[in-house]
Each structure stands twice: as structure tokens, then as C-alpha cells.
Chain A
Amino acid sequence: MRAFLDMGGYAAFVWPAYAVTFAVVLLNIVWARRALARARASARRRLSARSEGP
């Protein structure tokens, strides 16, 4: 296990690289879902504003 984490001495490079990549992977998922939720919310607002109008 130690050897695995140590990555043959390159741990300081390998693990940050993986961390950055998977941070971007997660970021994109969160970002996309937030964007969809925002779009739904603003659509809801547009519709209710319209139905309340004269």
C-alpha cells in the first residue's frame, strides 16, 4: 500500500495530477446540474410572471 501511494518516488506529481483531473470531472457534473436547475427555475419564473400578467 505504501509503495502504491509512493508511486516510485513520483507521488508529488502523480497524485496532484489525478486530483486535478478528477476535480474537473466532478466540477463539470456539479456545474452542469446547477445550470439545468437554474434554467428550470428561471423557466418557472417566466411562466408564472406571464400567467400573472394582464
Chain B
Amino acid sequence: MSAGTSAAGTLPAAHAAGTAAPAAASAVAASALEAAWLALLRDVQLAFRRRAQLVQPLAFFALVTMLFPLAISPELTQLRAVAPGVLWVAELLASLLALEFLFRDDAHDGTLEQYALSGQSLTWLMFAKTAAHWLLTGVPLALMAPLAALSLGVPAAALPGILLAVIVGSVTLSLIGSIGAALTLGLKRSGALLSLLTVPLSLPVLIFGARATQLAINGAPLLAPLELLAALAVLAVTLAPLAASAAVRISLE
């Protein structure tokens, strides 16, 4: 990602009715990083006005996790055996659900077009939006994972490791999801298609994450899969915003 300066670039932070951001942020943003930071702040502030929306993925995660004891068995020993898989499947599905509103509002009210036309680096703006989205959905979901794990009979000693793995994994999931969301911008009934596009690409995260979780439960060191998760996250951070910005431009044409 290039953090170049754009002399003529502006980030219209206050615009269409109903989405006005603080006036202080309407100054001309001189660098891609500043623009990205403003975009991130804006997204976080707007999201807090619609807190109910933020709760939905969390509720979904809790629901999915609850399904398994009911469908399989209430025996904690049995649940502990499937806990890694259950946690990560629930995590993946909930993050898919949360992706719906990554771009939806901005595409609807024209902000996304403004971003694309602003002359600022769209890649950095995509990174900012995805980062905001991760802070608003990925982190809370990750924080719920230890609770869900406890409900599945996982020993308390495993929880820190599980939390770490889910936090790192959720970074990659958000980034990969941003590509799918950008590609399916504005398409009708895009939910199933978004899942079809995102899930295959997210499989490595699922595999390494579940492995890390299993090792944590066994009390074994989980450095190896954690490192792999971190490597995936680094790869995603460098490449995904690029792909997402290309996809957004294509979708807006």
C-alpha cells in the first residue's frame, strides 16, 4: 500500500443528510493516512448510533454455539471434543453475517463513490473501513469466544490461547470478507453468493484456528498454528485492501 500525498484530494466527511459526521473532520485531508484515519473514526461513530445492528452478529454467534449442545449432546466431555470446530464455524458464520453492513450504507448514500472519486488512496480507505468493521464486529465476536468455549466444557486454562487465536483469525476473516463484500456490492440477494465466495477463501483460517484451539484445550503449546494464523493475517493485511479497492471501483462503474 502506498501512502502517497494527494494535493488536491479531499475527504468529504460531512455530506448527505442523515450521515453527517463531526464538523471538525471536514477539513481537507492532506495524506492517505489522515484520510484513512478519518474514515475509520467516521465508521466507528456512525456505527455507535446504530448499536442494535452491532449486537446481531453476537446474538447469532451465541445462537449457533447453543445449537450444538442441543443437537449433539449435553455431555461436556463430548462437547469439549467438538468445541474447536463449533467455535470456529460459529465465528465464520457470524462474521459472514456481519459483512452485510460493511459497505451497505456507504454504497447506498454515495459515500463509497465519494471515496473512490476523492483522489485519496482507495486502498488505504478500504483498509480503514475494514479495520473499523473489525473493531466493531470482529473483536466483540472474538471476546465472546471464550464464553462460548466455557459453555462447551473447555477448561479455563485454555481460554487465553483461544482468545488470542480467534482475535488473530478474525483479522483475516474480516479482510477476506471485505473482498467478497466489495465484489457483490449492490447485488440483490447477495448473502448466499457472499458466503460462497468468502468461505472457500477462509478455510485456511478455520483449519489453523481450530488446530490452535484444540492444542489450547489439550494444554499443549500452540505457537505453530498461531504463527500460521499471524502469517495469514499479515498476508491479508497487505493484499486484501488492494483487491477490495479494485473490486469497489469495478462495482461502482
Report A-B touching, CB under 8 Å. no
Q: Which residues on B are within 8 Å of A, measured CB to CB? A: none
Q: Which residues on A are within 8 Å of B, measured CB to CB? A: none
